[in-house]
């Protein structure tokens, strides 16, 4: 009888779980934890992306050391794709096309580092509240709900691991509560060492491979030659860059407008052969795209935002020379 009493007592203690450090009570502090955790922690895991009928599984390994962030993301379904990050440089490896695209890590990151470093202004566009605590990938996770205050952005629910703050699951929904896209870890190890072999590319680009340098150069907004004639509520210009279009095609102006969570990109390039094809709105999964021609230029606007928001920015891009 004493044995069973001792076992029951031990089970009761285990059910209580380990002692937790002081956790934040306000949702904005939780968002801050999510933002920093995705960039400062070591983790290795597998996550599933879902959008409509499309489901895709990826494996990610992330390590932080004195040289900055190191990350390898491999898509496990369909055509092989791999993204390797070393500090601020990103290599997108496409083995079937025998192509490597080199770019720089921008402000908007991939899952689970979905939130930007700066969260100022989010409360102006979203009602933010804590949801319930539930289990995701074997961890206790705090849900954070972001409800848009207008129809110019989507709603989000984020699930953060209780102790580390790492984002374990994120869901984007439309104004009717319908699922637009979802990322969710199926398994993940948080902390500990991440071996170099987990971060190394398993492909060896060599002879016959094409290397595309897509890195842009930052420029002052006043030098872009293009402006947003009518501001979109909650969105502000966060970056302006020039990006190479390829041999003899010149440069494109790349502008990014963000509310701190949603981001809408605008690419402006000279009209070329066939560039007038496909003008107007189109969607690709969670991304809405809108194209129009302005003053001899093709303006392509795209982002994970409602079509009305993407179209309003696209329709209000003006040349300073006009």
Terminal-residue alpha carbon distance, the chain: 89
Q: Give the distance from CA 193 to its chain's centroid.
A: 25
Final residue in a domain of this structure, among 140, 164, 198: 198
pLDDT score of 23 more than 90 = no
Q: Is the dihedral of CA 125, 131, 133, 138 positive or negative?
A: negative
Final residue in a domain of this structure, among 169, 198, 227: 198
Confirm whether 110 is domain-assigned. Answer: yes
In this structure, the answer to whether residues 191 and 228 fall within a common structural domain is no
Final residue in a domain of this structure, among 142, 171, 198: 198
Confirm whether 18 is domain-assigned. Answer: no
pLDDT score of 42 more than 80 = yes
Confirm whether 11 is domain-assigned. Answer: no
Instruction: State the residue range of the domain holding 226.
Output: 216-319
In this structure, the answer to whether residues 161 and 228 fall within a common structural domain is no
Neighbours of 286 (CB within 10 A): 19
In this structure, the answer to whether residues 99 and 242 fall within a common structural domain is no
pLDDT (tens digit, 9 = 90+) per residue, 199-246? Answer: 999 898 888 899 988 888 888 988 899 999 999 999 999 999 998 887
Exposure string over 21-41, b if 16+ CB within 10 A, otherwise e: eeeeeebeebbbbbbbbbbeb
pLDDT of amino acid 104 = 84
In this structure, the answer to whether residues 177 and 233 fall within a common structural domain is no
d(CA 151, CA 306): 7
Which of left, alpha, beta for 214 (phi over 0: left; psi -120 to 50: alpha)?
alpha
Q: Which residues pair with 144 in a beta bridge?
A: 130, 158
Cβ-proximal residues to 311 (8 Å cutoff; 6+ apart), any chain: 281, 290, 301
Q: Is the dihedral of CA 310, 313, 319, 322 positive or negative?
A: positive
In this structure, the answer to whether residues 46 and 163 fall within a common structural domain is yes
CATH of the domain at 149: 2.50.20.10
In this structure, the answer to whether residues 220 and 190 fall within a common structural domain is no
């Amino acid at each position: 009888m004493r044995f069973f009493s001792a076992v029951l007592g031990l089970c009761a203690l285990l059910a209580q779980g380990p002692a937790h450090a002081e956790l934040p009570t306000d949702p904005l502090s939780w968002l801050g934890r999510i933002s920093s955790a995705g960039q400062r922690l070591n983790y290795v895991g597998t996550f599933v992306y879902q959008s409509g009928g499309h489901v895709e599984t990826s494996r990610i390994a992330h390590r932080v050391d004195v040289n900055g962030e190191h990350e390898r993301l491999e898509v496990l379904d369909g055509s092989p794709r791999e993204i390797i990050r070393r500090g601020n440089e990103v290599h997108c490896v496409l083995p079937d096309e025998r192509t490597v695209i080199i770019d720089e890590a921008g402000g908007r990151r991939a899952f689970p580092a979905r939130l930007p470093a700066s969260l100022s202004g989010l409360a102006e566009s979203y009602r933010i509240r804590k949801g319930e605590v539930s289990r995701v990938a074997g961890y206790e996770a705090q849900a954070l709900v972001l409800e848009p205050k207008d129809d110019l952005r989507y709603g989000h629910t984020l699930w953060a691991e209780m102790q580390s703050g790492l984002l374990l699951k994120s869901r984007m929904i439309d104004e009717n509560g319908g699922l637009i896209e979802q990322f969710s870890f199926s398994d993940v190890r948080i902390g500990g060492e991440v071996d170099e072999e987990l971060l190394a590319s398993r492909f060896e680009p060599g002879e016959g491979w094409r290397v595309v340098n897509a890195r842009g150069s930052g420029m002052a907004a006043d030098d872009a030659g293009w402006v947003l004639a009518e501001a979109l509520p909650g969105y502000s210009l966060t970056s302006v860059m020039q990006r190479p279009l390829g041999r003899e095609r010149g440069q494109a102006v790349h502008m990014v407008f963000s509310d701190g969570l949603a981001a809408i990109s605008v690419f402006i390039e000279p009209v070329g052969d066939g560039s007038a094809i496909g003008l107007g709105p189109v969607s690709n999964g969670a991304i809405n795209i809108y194209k129009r021609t302005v003053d001899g230029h093709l303006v392509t606007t795209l982002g994970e935002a409602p079509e009305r928001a993407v179209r309003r920015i696209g329709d209000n891009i003006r040349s300073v020379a006009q």
